[in-house]
Amino acid sequence: MPLSRRSALSRIIAAGAASIFWQPNRLFAAQPATGSWHHHLGQASDLLGRRFSLDMHMHPALFPVKDIPRSSNPRPYRGDDVFAARIQGMREGHMWCGFFSPVVDAPVLGMTPQGPAMVRPFERGEAWSEFKRQMAVLDDLLRRNDVVKAATVTDVETAHAAGKIAAIVSCEGGDHIEDKPERVEEMVAAGVRSLQIYHVAPNSLVKTDGTRDSGLSDIGRATLREMNRIGLLADLAHASFETTAEAAEITTQPILSTHSLVRAADGSAHGFGMTVEHARIIAATGGVIGTFGGVGGGMAGFIEHTLRLIDTVGIDHVGIGTDMDGTGNMPAAFDRYPLLPEATARLLASGLDEDEVARVIGGNIARVLDDAQAGTNES
């Protein structure tokens, strides 16, 4: 008899102490490259012309802080010319689509000795207004750069056939939900397809221990159920193990972690590293983890982390989540889209076949988007 999702999650959690960190010298991590990646560039370019590709997390030119009012955020908008250059880079690199991500808590974040943190609370209604402001900024930039705002995989494929880049809108942070789970319907009506429950600032969707999230709140659970009902994907990037485990118990749809990594055997990881147990909880829902672009070691380092994720959760649960222009002071191995052919060639050189590489560069997240849409159509 197949395991239920709850039983599978329970077994993952029970086994956690034995496999908390990724162990080297297994599967792809142990396999030498089948030749110089340069020899695979032609094959990679051909593959990218034929197969769906998507960056699961991006903030081109830091558009969320364009014209931002009353903000302590030290990171400035990089300019309309940089936004346009990112779109052109997507064309050159054959990145068909991306999750363009507003950052709702941007106005209340500042730099502290401990790093980025909330430096003032939101006023009542401010977060909802900020969400709508950032959406208006993004809509204007997409229009002026001839980018198609997409809601489905079919929309992206249609845009690609017409020679255009597509944008699927995600949202980083659930601060604007406040105490109104029904707001997710307005988000979907505005074109949003994914909501990251927690970013940096504490919000109404999570419980907090005073420093960070420690599980879903009652409002968070109600919001997740409403998201499942209407087909809005849940992103658990940045979220704690406790919050992710609770979400996985409740959800009826796959959950995402759009930009993350798995910690190495010594417990180290750049950026948003998670344990093996944490990663496998996401995979057990049928979800996808995007390899975070803020790593050291250049593109070779990015591919190493991607193969580590594949080794940990399986080929069907890994994607690319560069966090373009949003990695801050972290090293950025994947910092421009014309690098996508190199990344694809390196994956081919690692021993993955074309179908497996196609799943990583976009096929897996396309499956999740299709499944969410199908679930909405059936409800």
Q: What is the pLDDT along the chain (379 residues), one digit of tens a residue?
A: 344 555 555 545 444 443 444 444 344 443 444 469 999 999 999 999 999 999 999 999 999 999 999 888 888 999 999 999 999 999 999 999 999 999 999 999 988 887 788 889 999 999 999 999 999 999 999 999 999 999 999 999 999 999 999 999 999 999 999 999 999 999 999 999 999 999 999 999 999 877 789 999 999 999 999 999 999 999 999 999 999 999 999 999 999 999 999 987 655 554 468 999 999 999 999 999 999 999 989 999 999 999 999 999 999 999 999 999 998 878 889 999 999 999 999 999 999 999 999 999 999 999 999 998 887 666 5
- Residues with Cβ within 8 Å of 322's Cβ and at least 6 positions away in sequence, in order, are 55, 57, 58, 259, 292, 293, 332, 334, 335
pLDDT at 273: 81
Instruction: Name the β-bridge partners of 262.
Output: 274
For residue 100, give the nearest of 86, 117, 82 by alpha carbon.
86
pLDDT at 272: 63
Helix then strand then coil, % of the chain, to nearest 5: 50, 15, 35
For residue 330, give the nearest of 290, 293, 291 by alpha carbon.
293
- Residues with Cβ within 8 Å of 352's Cβ and at least 6 positions away in sequence, in order, are 28, 310, 315, 360
d(CA 52, CA 55): 11
The dihedral region occupied by 125, where left means phi > 0, alpha psi between -120 and 50, and beta the remainder, is left
Q: Name the domain count of the chain.
A: 1
Radius of gyration of the chain (CA): 19
Phi, psi of 77 (to 5 degrees): -65, 135
Q: Is residue 87 a contact partner of residue 166, using CB atoms and an 8 Å limit?
A: no
pLDDT at 27: 46
d(CA 293, CA 315): 18
Q: Is residue 125 a contact partner of residue 342, using CB atoms and an 8 Å limit?
A: no
d(CA 276, CA 267): 10
pLDDT at 14: 47
Structural element, H or E, at residue 347: helix 340-349
pLDDT at 268: 53
The pTM of this model reads 0.91
CATH number for the domain harbouring residue 307 = 3.20.20.140
pLDDT at 90: 98
pLDDT at 328: 82
Q: Is residue 1 a contact partner of residue 255, using CB atoms and an 8 Å limit?
A: no
pLDDT at 263: 83
Q: Is residue 308 a contact partner of residue 262, using CB atoms and an 8 Å limit?
A: yes
pLDDT at 30: 36
Phi, psi of 350 (to 5 degrees): -75, -15
Instruction: Name the β-bridge partners of 234.
Output: 195, 255
Domain of residue 120 covers 5-378
